[in-house]
Amino acid sequence: MKITKVYTRRGDKGQTSLVGGKRVSKSSVRLESYGTVDELSANMGMLIAMLPEGHEKEMLFRIQNNLFNVCTNLATDQEDTPLYPSAHLPEGETELLEHEVDQIMKELPEAQGFILPGGTCEAAQAHICRTICRRAERRIVALAEESMVSPEVQEYINRLSDYFFVLAKKLNFLAGKSEKIWINACK
């Protein structure tokens, strides 16, 4: 699809169009949900730029593509407009995330407790992606309380935050960077 014009001026008064043409406020929970997913994808772009070529980078590109499906799904009021085929996640993507999490966990030393986000710049960026993903999940759950949201979207976003958590751990481990463990002062 070629973009011929970036601005339309149709959103200047705080409204935008959903898939299907319905106009809604830019402050709606629906826009918050897919706007947060878009923010996640942009932060993933930073993480991708930091990483060398390899499996993690390929997986992150795949996830970014899936997030476009998620955004299309969330931008569709399913009570008014049928979902485009592109709004569905490809079959097996949530299971693929689970597989990736399990594989990474096999490569890592045994967990030692709650960790403080940080380590290498790449791992810190993965933690930023994790927290944005968690916020997206909260916004999607809020949307699902008032509108129809495809269950696979919620499942995928929930697994995705787990993926970012273990990816951050892996990036620190591969770099030989020790993680900082939360010291519970209430012991």
Query: Which two three-digit tokens encode residue 180?
Result: 């900082």
- State pLDDT tens for residues 56-114: 999 999 999 999 999 999 999 998 999 988 789 999 999 999 999 999 999 998 766 78
Q: Which CATH number is 172's domain given? A: 1.20.1200.10
Alpha helices in the chain (DSSP H): 29-50, 55-74, 93-107, 121-144, 151-174
Residue 105 located in a structural domain: no
Residue 147 located in a structural domain: yes
Domain enclosing residue 33, as ranges: 23-75+115-178
Residue 142's pLDDT is 97
CA 158 distance to own-chain centroid = 9
Q: Is the pLDDT of residue 39 over 90?
A: yes
Number of domains in the chain: 1
Distance set, CA 78 to CA 16, 74, 157 (Å): 17, 9, 19
Q: Could you give the CA distance from residue 163 to residue 101 in angstroms, rounded to a whole number?
A: 5
Neighbours of 20 (CB within 10 A): 14
Average pLDDT estimate for 132-154: 96
Instruction: Answer with the residue of higher pLDDT: 27 or 160.
Output: 160
pTM over cut 0.85: yes
Residue 125 located in a structural domain: yes
**Dihedral-angle region of residue 92 (phi above 0 means left; psi in -120 to 50 means alpha; beta otherwise):** left
